[in-house]
Amino acid sequence: MLVPLEQILQRARQNRYAVGAFNIYNLEGVLAVIQSAEALGSPVIIQLLPSALELGGTPLIQLCLEAGDKAQVPVAIHLDHCPSQKMIQAALAAGISSVMADGSGLEYAGNLAFTKNIVQEAVLYSAGVEGELGRLSGSEDGLTVAAAAAKMTQPEEAADFVKQTGICALAVCIGNIHGHYKTEPRLDFKRLAAIAAAVSVPLVLHGTSGLPDEMIVRAIAHGVCKFNVNTEIRTAYTHSLSRLFVGGNLPELVDVMRDGIAAMQGPIQSKIRLFGSTNKA
């Protein structure tokens, strides 16, 4: 069943667990996420990156919406990391229930103004908006941000940002990165605790792939209710393709799709269990 992002996150916040937000690119990804969530009785968030939306367009959104509507568990459909107001407007008009207004590349005042504007637009569609304060390093969706350009979320700015923009969730930067961690991850939990104390909305952590389990559990205890997962699922999918086509083998396309779905379900179900959302549907 389709439900708003805010409803999923508020329930997770109240009951001290988190929900996985899984980036998908095609039918196989949608089925892998929903089947995994149904198998474990978990709410789930299906996310589209701008690059996937540029390629798939409105039909990709409609695929997600119909699959989510028929699911036996709560499903939210979310546009991830979008800095384009034009694309956000098109996604909202197509029926997507929430968007991430990504103004993280702007200075504070610019980010605040951009995000506030998107919230005002989303209200017209009864949709929710996730904002981001700070900036993550790493690579995602074809964009690479150097470590030197990363910016930590400032707790003293977080309350003002949430209040002025009206967002329903806040993505924080506490040492997490996009993509693979090349060194041992170090998250600033003191900063996370201060942010959680300063704001009244659920917190989001991007760059979950590669974080040790104990860090995930600790982040949930500090108020994180949504974890974005991309790299591990995408890697499982592409590895399944490479295995099937080794040595010039040309398998049946439906077999390729089935294998891809099965390959993605492993890391998806593992994350759902780790986040504590099993049987929370």
**Mean pLDDT, residues 29-53:** 97
pLDDT by residue (tens digit) across 168-201? 999 998 887 755 555 677 889 999 999 999 999 9
What pLDDT is recorded for position 201?
A: 97
Distance CA 217, CA 201 (A): 19
Q: Is the pLDDT of residue 69 over 90?
A: yes
User: Are 230 and 46 within 8 A, CB to CB?
Assistant: no
What pLDDT is recorded for position 138?
A: 46
The pTM (predicted TM-score) of the whole model is 0.92
What's the pLDDT band for 39 if we cut at 50, 70, 90?
A: very high
**Catalytically annotated residue among 69, 80, 102, 213:** 80
**Mean pLDDT, residues 52-73:** 97
- Residue 80 designated active-site: yes
Please list the residues that pair with 45 across neighbouring strands. 21, 76
Query: What structural domains does the chain harbor?
Result: 5-275 (3.20.20.70)
Distance CA 266, CA 270 (A): 6
User: Are 78 and 7 within 8 A, CB to CB?
Assistant: no
Q: Is the pLDDT of residue 143 over 60?
A: no
Q: Is the pLDDT of residue 38 over 50?
A: yes
What pLDDT is recorded for position 246?
A: 85
Tokens of 8: 């999923």
pLDDT by residue (tens digit) across 232-279? 999 999 999 999 988 788 899 999 999 999 999 999 999 999 999 999
